[in-house]
Chains A and B, each alone.
Chain A
Amino acid sequence: MGRLIRMDSSGHSTLADWSATDERAYDAALEAFRRELEEGYIAVVSEGEGHATQVSELPPDAELVIMRRPIAGG
């Protein structure tokens, strides 16, 4: 089961859930994923403590994909 979430002013919002066997749910998640990328979000797959990978496509087998805003030096 995959989950697409966005970190935002509410804490975080779940944008989509999908499973490897449910093609329609994945397509909906993919659409939401691309929309967020167009909005300027950056997609990261969390892989446990100390590990994260930036992705530009929604990995069907990922458990958690997080959309974050860019960072900048303060």
Chain B
Amino acid sequence: MEAASAPLPELASVPWRGRENASTLRRRERLWSLYTTAHVVPFIAAAAGLMYLNVLAGPVAFVALMHAWVIPELYAFRGASVVRPKGPRHEQAEKVAQGFLGDLLGHDARDLQRDTGLALERGKLGTWLVGEAGALLVREKRVHCFCVQATDRDLPPSDRVAHLLLALRTDEEGFATVANHAFAGAPWRVRRRLDRDMRPALEKALAASVRPLPQPSRSL
């Protein structure tokens, strides 16, 4: 994607937010790593301490270890949930909307979207996977989860994806700013919590995120 010609008008609805960019995303990645460590380490330390003091405290130590495991999993679950299908399916209108979305996507991305429900879009911030009510941004070794959707709830699913895709193509940083950031973490953590059908899309995005951005084509 090229630099935006104009900022997204939706930015006016979130004037208190600073514009997202590669630097702010890196900061989010570090904060989420710290946040996870801050949750996990005390529980593991507590479990180890309890076992050291008295082996009979084993069950309590086990509960502490479960907390160390469950809390980061819950955050990853919340993150992966942003791309789960939501809302009415509108099966008749969906056929029309699917054709239109297909026109917006390249051949490979179109097939991927039909198989997984996620539209792959390469940007300057990373590789995006756009769903009906959210998007994943894959950046090297981290995945960011954004909750964002079209305000019209009566749209068929593919039109919801197309809305997000067009906004993303118009102003990538603005899109990331308007969206609510839900989670950032290692790809394997998000992958485990994605629906099985969606996992190939994450694998493609991970592969795409390490390849140089192709030269733009203007086919539509």
Contact = CB atoms under 8 A, between A and B. Distances in A.
Bound pair (A, B): yes
Interface string A45-62: 011111111100000000
B218 A72 contact: no
Interface of A: 5, 7-12, 42, 44, 46-54, 63-64, 66, 68-74
B13 A51 contact: no
Given A10-B96, A12-B96, A71 B170 contact: no
Given A54-B170, A74-B133, A11 B97 contact: yes
A7, A42, A51: which has the most chain B beta carbons within 10 Å? A7
Contacts of B178: 71-73
Contact of B97 (A12, A63, A68, A70): A12
25 contacts: A7-B163, A8-B155, A10-B93, A11-B97, A11-B159, A12-B100, A46-B104, A46-B166, A48-B218, A48-B220, A50-B216, A51-B169, A54-B9, A54-B170, A54-B171, A63-B220, A68-B162, A69-B151, A69-B155, A71-B178, A72-B149, A73-B146, A74-B82, A74-B134, A74-B149
B104 A73 contact: no
Contacts of A12: 96-97, 100, 159
